[in-house]
Structure 1
Amino acid sequence: MTRLHDHDGGALTKVLATLLVLALLASAALFVYTRSQDPLALGVDAFVGYNAALADHGTPTDPLVTLEPNGQIYVATTVRNDGTLPVTITGLGQSPNDDQTPYIPVELHLGDGKTANPAGSTSGFQPAKLNPGTGIGILVVFAANPNLICSVFTDTSEGSGTEIRSFTLKYTTYGIPDSQTLDVGRTLVSVARPTRTGCEQTING
């Protein structure tokens, strides 16, 4: 009887160990799969707005702004899940080279995807789940970069400026975190290259 009990116990242990290994392999496969995907895509349309500090932003067809301490740019668009798994958008991610970019994304709001004004969106962002094939309207707020490295600029503003056309979103897939940089595909707003003095005045308030 004791030998039979030991045999049954050993078999159960082997089964549990096998199930554990299979679960770990499945988790690893899911992790690798999700981290290799870019499931998010932007809608065709994007709408741009400005706060009072950037009232002088050039023409509607070719907007151009300069670095202003309180300047804000609003981009309204839609984001959809083109992947095969559900994702949950959790917020803004860090943009590449943001220490040399005058305006960076600082806030994410839910909206209708058309109204480029925070007054027409939610006051705060809550994680939003997107099933495959679904989308939501968002509003991204760009503001003067407090971490801008002024030493890369000159007092004559030599060199080309930057442009606002992309931002990074953080999301999870079944709890696995990832991020994706989304590009509108065209320049929404051109940003003149600041002078070193102008940069320092903006950063130092």
Structure 2
Amino acid sequence: MNDSKTTKFSEKLHQAAAPLWQKSIHHPFITELASGKLPLATFRYYLTQDTKYLAAFEKLHERTAALLPQSQGALLLKLANGSGEDVQRSPMLQQLKLSPAEIQQAPIAPNNYAYITHMEHQLSVDPAAAVTALLPCYWLYDEIADYWKDQTSPVPVYQAFFDSYQTVGFDTSTQQLIGLVNELAANSSETVKQQMMTAFLRSSSYELGFWQMAYTHQTWADLADN
């Protein structure tokens, strides 16, 4: 058994989020991507919302970097510029004939808006919490890709989605951000570490909500119906 003093903070985060992550890994959106049964219209919806999300996500890296010491901020900026997700997504968008104009004109979905707003809020909580709020987007996708690596989707664009998160570059970026979170936690008070934990779990919840949002083609009208 690991002593609590030697357990990395990231391991505590991972353990706390495990129930949420298991639900993400086995969400119908993901399982139907793997089986090829997911309707293309649903994947188009996902890509539309995810493109909006990634634009905000990159800016959040930049805003968070400005609050950190130079070396830590430089790593965040490097991750923002080097994840390659936009490059990986470009062929998918082209294949599905999803234009920048169509993406721009589509309204941002409620869960997407709430997720981005949550990460923006962490900037006013603590820089360490803001960094930790970014981590599930890397780490969870890395684990999803690893879980489904032995199954090939019969739909090429769906397999391209899984492949885009099985690269050495993406795994390296994930490990670098995990390392930064551990570094920040090691120099943070218990209060800040609790804020980091809360930020991580909420981001993990929004990640799960993102799959459901895409699976149901969530709209603002849906909220009025609930």
TM class, shorter-length: under 0.3
Higher strand share: 1
TM-score using structure 1 length: 0.22
Instruction: Say which one has the larger Rg.
Output: 1
Higher helix share: 2
